[in-house]
Amino acid sequence: MRKKFIVFDIDGTLLTTEMEFLVSTKQALVSLKDQGHVIVIATGRDYPSAKSIVDELEIDTYVLCNGSIGYVRHELAHELILSKESIHTLIEIAMENNDQVVFQTANGLARHFEEPGEALTKAYESLGWTIPEFDQNFWRENSIIQAMLFCKKEDLPRYAIKEFRYVSWHEYGLDVIPREGSKARTILKIAEQNGFKREDIVFFGDGNNDIELMELSGVGIAMGNAETEVKEKADIITDSCNEHGIYNALKSMSLI
């Protein structure tokens, strides 16, 4: 069997809704490695929030911040930076609308406005995340690869900034990434650099920020808990992240 480039989202895919690994998921990954398949993570998380997952699963190739940055064998292989000018425009619009913004580097993040705001608080609390520290100069002093915008979806047209594209990941939260950036483009680039073709990519995901990669992959697999739009684009719908979805799908495909 030709080796596969097998890509996993983290939240709602590798992790259960209780933010834990199923034993069956870990067993499946070990089996994939033993057979010589390449295992990759593709997530909206930054490095600090993904590090424990990467370390525990012993994965050395990972795409973070929705494709803005990618590592191969733990070495930086791809990076896109948001321009200071466009970031300043984003801040001005957010200030006018009383919205909140969080800025991310490869290694950290900070919120821009002192008051967290209702939307940011609800989004972070729903995921059990700690609200980022306030640092108004963070974006000036660092290379920003992704921002998180917390606003009502009906207000998004106000943020028509040419350089940016917006990817929804929560009722109140959107990732702000370079227009040319995406999980799909970065995964394809890294796969091809490592001798794989598009049809060799197998992807497991659940969220709206997974749709483009779901469509691009040779086989796109939506978790049973995935958003409806994700399931519509998938080749296979497996069981949920709480019900051995990864193990069952890989078993049915004879990959383990």
List C-alpha distances in Å: 34 to 30, 99, 187, 251: 6, 48, 22, 15
Instruction: Give the CA dihedral 188, 191, 197, 199, nearest 10 degrees.
Output: -70
d(CA 170, CA 7): 22
Length of the chain: 256
From 171, 155, 104, select the one nearest 132 (Cα to Cα).
104
**Inter-axis angle of helices 23-34 and 245-252, nearest 10:** 40
For the chain, first and last CA: distance in Å?
12
Tell me, yes or no, if 9 is annotated catalytic.
Answer: yes
Catalytic residue annotation = 9
